[in-house]
Amino acid sequence: MENVIEMNHITKIFGNFKANDDITLQVRKGEIHALLGENGAGKSTLMSVLFGLYQPEKGEIKINGKPVKINNPNDANNLGIGMVHQHFKLVHNFTVLESIVLGRETTKNGLLKMDAAREKILELSERYKFKIDPDAYISDITVGMQQRVEILKMLYCDNDILIFDEPTAVLTPQEIDELLKVMKQLVSEGKSIIFISHKLNEIKAVADRCSVLRKGKYIGTVDVATTSKEEMSEMMVGRKVNLSIDKKEMSPGEPVLEVQDLCIKSKQSNKHVVKNVSFQVRAGEIVSIAGIDGNGQSELVYGITGLMPLDGGSVKLKGKDVTNETIRNKCLDGLAHIPEDRQKYGLVLDYTLKENLVLQSYFTPKFQKKGFLKFGDISQYAKYLIEKFDIRCGQGEDSIVRGMSGGNQQKAIIARELDRDPNLIIAVQPVRGLDVGAIEYVHKQLVEQRDQGKGVLLVSFELDEVMTLSDRILVMYEGEIVADVRPEEVTVQELGLYMAGTKRGVTSAS
């Protein structure tokens, strides 16, 4: 079968850091080719070279057998290459329609002509069952919908080579299933897909072949059907990975979090998105909140942490009423928060890594004296966390966070939050975008925190993660808790019924 893409001996260097070191990748026409590797292995960098965002120091790219020079994304689009980025490239105050046609607008006498574009987008939305409202603002739609908008941008441009960079990282299990079906449909229509993912189940489900990168180098390409997940994970990490979680029997203590009758209104309307929610998290237990995205989980966490105002109810940390406390005071009272949107709520992207690692503590005597920061102590502390949590970055503690891979940005937040010795850890999608080695590490950290007598509130759309990590599972549907169960007493199918609202009945498992 002929190659639609050949990237030969690609080398990309940032300062002294070789992100891609003599990598050769060949993608056949009409296949789904997975690109697998740890966080910071160079996958997104390699695809950014193919999409014209970076220029390689060495190497050659061929499309359909012909050498090409891709200076920018417009060149890539003209060659039929489209890319859905790990962190979406959408304008938040534009509508869906405006975001899709941006750069490809039709005008007449200086005025935008949107009718034909609207018709084409609605037709594409119908064909791929995306159910998109072209007049909705990007800022008002879920991350799953934003993902669909990114895909529609590629399809609107009639791209034949589609790059999906971690496309399932922000999706619910149902949305992931739909996306994988869409990818298969696209390939059946003659498209070729490069699929960057850490999720071995998804690679096994849709990919034909898989190329593995490790620390910027090409390790090999395997046939997915004849290669086990264990073999692929070992190629990726360079060692055997334990994909199961070892947990001791739970011995819970006093409540570290008490939420009583919490009500929160939507930012867009007067409607309650969290309705009279009450629950506890005790010391020494992991309580998971399961549910389909958009059922109030995010707003519940924002309300507890102080990112959104409450419309009623109370929050207590270790018996202390913190309902009206500032975010800083809640953190000082022992609350740690690993947010779902790491770039919006977890990091200051244009700060260095060391500055981000002390965001919660720069004002303490450890890092300042008489109002002046102790830069030497901050650097030493950052080096310690980089080593302890295996944060990979080109310029060490002086790396600008915006330039780090998504997985390493996530590790930076986890390092900062867990090292403060909190009483309660609220972790929302904590392994989003992480490779299997990093997932194994984060899960161990959360279980370790629980075994040390901390409380953990986990919000996850990954039902496997919920079932294996939890001591108790709460299910949210339309802003209410509709189930309180233990993982050993419920099946994944039952959880799915609760999540869809077809089964109700809170069982007190506490």
Q: Which of 237, 268, 298 is the last residue of a domain?
A: 237
Are 494 and 352 within one domain? no
Same domain, 41 and 105: yes
In a domain, 224, yes or no: yes
Considering the domain architecture, whether residues 441 and 303 belong to the same structural domain is answered as yes
Answer whether residue 245 is part of any domain.
Answer: no
Residues 298 and 383 in one domain: no
Q: Is the pLDDT of residue 3 over 70?
A: yes
Greatest Cα-to-Cα distance within the chain, rounded to the nearest angstrom = 72
In a domain, 247, yes or no: no
Q: Quick check: is 81 in a domain?
A: yes
On whether residue 263 sits in a domain, the answer given is yes
124 located within any domain? yes
Residues 260 and 117 in one domain: no
Q: What is the Cα–Cα distance from 258 to 6, expressed in whole angstroms?
A: 57
The pLDDT of residue 169 is: 67
Identify the pLDDT of residue 485: 93
Distance (Å, whole) CA 474 – CA 287: 7
In the prediction, which pLDDT does 352 show?
96
Mean pLDDT of 376-405: 91
**Average pLDDT over the chain, rounded to whole?**
89
pLDDT of 328 > 90? The answer is: yes
Residue span of the structural domain in which 44 resides: 3-237
| pLDDT tens, position by position, 29-53 | 999 999 998 877 889 899 999 999 9
Give residue 213's pLDDT: 93
CB atoms within 10 A of CB 65: 9
Q: Which helix (H) or strand (E) holds 83?
A: strand 81-84
Residue 458 has pLDDT above 60, yes or no: yes
Contact 397, 380 (CB under 8 A): no
Stretch 104-129: mean pLDDT: 83
Residue 506 has a pLDDT of 55
The model's pLDDT over 278-295, given as tens digits with 9 standing for 90+, comes to: 999 999 999 999 988 788
Please check whether residues 18 and 66 belong to one and the same domain: yes
User: What is the distance between the alpha carbons of residues 224 and 16, in angstroms, rounded to a whole number?
Assistant: 34
Only one residue has tokens 């998804």, namely 202
Give me the percent of the chain exceeding a pLDDT of 70. 96
Vertex 174: Cα angle to 294 and 206 (nearest 5): 140
Residues 447, 298 share a domain = yes
Alpha-carbon span 166 to 405, nearest angstrom: 11
Q: Do residue 414 and residue 446 come from a single domain? A: no
Are residue 360 and residue 500 in the same domain, yes or no?
Answer: no
From 204, 237, 270, the end of a domain falls on 237
Of the given ranges (228-242, 377-391, 420-434), which has the lowest mean pLDDT?
228-242
The pLDDT of residue 129 is above 50: yes
CA 358, CA 378: separation in Å to the nearest integer? Answer: 7
Beta-carbon count within 10 A of 240 CB: 9
Confidence of residue 170 (pLDDT cuts 50, 70, 90): low
CB 441 within 8 A of CB 408: no
Residues 316 and 403 both lie in one domain = no
CA 349, 375, 366 angle in degrees (round to 5)? Answer: 100
187-210 per-position pLDDT tens digit: 999 999 999 987 888 999 999 999
The more confidently predicted of residues 144 and 326 is: 326
Residue 175 pLDDT greater than 90, yes or no: no
Read off the pLDDT of each residue in 168-182 and give the average, rounded to a whole number. 77
Residue ending a domain, among 387, 421, 455, is: 421
Question: Residue 153 has what pLDDT?
Answer: 87
Domain CATH for 131: 3.40.50.300
pLDDT at 243: 62
Asked whether residue 434 carries a pLDDT value surpassing 80, the answer given is no
Residue 339 lies inside a defined structural domain of this protein? no
Domain membership of residue 244 (yes or no) is no
Same domain? 307 vs 371: no
Same-domain status, 389 and 467 = no
Total domains, the chain: 3
